[in-house]
Copies of this chain bind each other. A is one copy, B any other.
């Protein structure tokens, strides 16, 4: 799917523009609301569009008039300064784009290195996983079950925060999991990171997971469910 990055320019297509307008107006008004609420400042916004006969405002027609009144009462205001006009936004965009270019370059170099290292790892792993991968995998599965149960329970607590133990009738996941045999309490965060944070590595802001950190190297002699081979 292609969710294009916005190019800041008038949207020629009518229906597209209208759709965008509706979504963005809502979002923008929400932002005004948040700014005003969170930071306790007076603010207002007015939108005059062909999509509605009436002006669309925040926080309310009266609120707008109140802010406008204050705004107009402010004396001697150098109209040139402190304003946010299109030009300044454009400049900001150029600055950011150039910044991005620099970062991209750096990131590319980094990715190539990661790429190479990863191949080494993967090769090693697939060659030997039949033995020493199994214990890890078993432990990993186990950890996942625990994690799920933990989350389910957290969710229940959240959803039924003040009702105490109201879910006795079904078999709760806590109960299910209470039956689970946990072979080890020892943390294996690195492995979880390996599994769950793999994806981020691939895209944003450089490297998520750093393959050079040796912490994932569990070998099977120590940790996790101890499989015995018959």
Residues of A within 8 A of B (CB): 6, 8-11, 17-18, 20-21, 24-25, 27-35, 37-52, 54-64, 67-68, 70-71, 74, 77-79, 81-86, 89, 101, 104-105, 108, 111-112, 114-116, 118-119, 122-123, 125-126, 129-130, 133-134, 137-138, 140-142, 144-159, 170-183, 185, 194-196, 198-199, 201-202, 207, 209-210, 213, 215-230
Contacts and interface: CB of A to CB of B under 8 A. Distances in A.
Q: How many chain copies does the complex carry?
A: 2
A145 B146 CA distance: 24
A25 B82 CA distance: 12
Main secondary structure of the interface of A (DSSP, over half): helix
Most buried by B among A114, A180, A209, A217: A180
B176 A148 contact: no
A40 B10 contact: yes
Contacts of A61: 77, 79, 83
Given A24-B38, A55-B82, A174-B216, 7 more contacts: A59-B83, A112-B152, A119-B170, A122-B148, A122-B173, A142-B224, A177-B217
A100 to B, nearest CB: 10
A173 B159 CA distance: 45
Contacts of A108: 152, 155-156, 159
B84 A33 contact: yes
B33 A54 contact: no
A141 B145 contact: no
Contacts of A147: 198
A218 B177 contact: yes
A153 to B, nearest CB: 5
Most buried by B among A11, A54, A84, A123: A84
Contacts of A177: 115, 126, 217-218
Given A118-B148, A122-B145, A152-B111, A24 B17 contact: no
B159 A116 contact: no
A71 B85 contact: no
Contacts of A217: 153, 174-175, 177-178
A116 B56 contact: no
Contacts of A226: 181, 227, 229
